[in-house]
Amino acid sequence: MRQVHNGSWIFFGRLYGDHVIDMVRNVYKGRVQFHTGDSEIAPGISVHHVGGHTMGMQFVRVMTARGWVVLASDASHFYANFEDSAPFPIVYNVADMLKGFERCDPSRAREITSSRAMTRR
């Protein structure tokens, strides 16, 4: 790791902004909470393990006035991947990604909550 002239840092040959460095520092200060599996973060906000893109991939589910919204992140790179059950070409585990498409479906929100024990942190 070395600092370059513009105040950013280089890790493994890539340039990262100070905001990334600040987040890493927050991890070491104990200010970041990690969640494994399915977990309720606050009433109406939960994270759910789906695997697929990476071994620890999660999506966020949020209850809104209009119903559930799923923030899929890399659980589905494009809406067409989710719609057609067509995984992105580069993934950690194709089977987990396909199962993840089902879990990301907002219409299955009740099934998601009841299928796995959720922990409250």
From first to last of its 121 residues, the chain has per-residue pLDDT tens of: 444 445 555 555 556 677 788 888 999 999 998 888 899 999 999 999 888 888 888 889 999 999 888 888 877 777 787 788 888 888 888 888 888 888 887 666 555 555 554 555 4
> For residue 109, what pLDDT is reported?
55
Q: How far apart are CA 93 and CA 97, in angstroms?
A: 6
Q: pTM here? A: 0.64
In this structure, the number of other CB atoms found within 10 A of the CB of residue 54 comes to 14
> For residue 23, what pLDDT is reported?
87
Six token digits for residue 30: 């104990």
Domain positions in the chain are 1-32, 39-120
Q: How far apart are CA 69 and CA 52, in angstroms?
A: 20
> For residue 82, what pLDDT is reported?
76
End-to-end CA distance of the chain: 34
Contact 118/103 with Cβ under 8 angstroms?
no
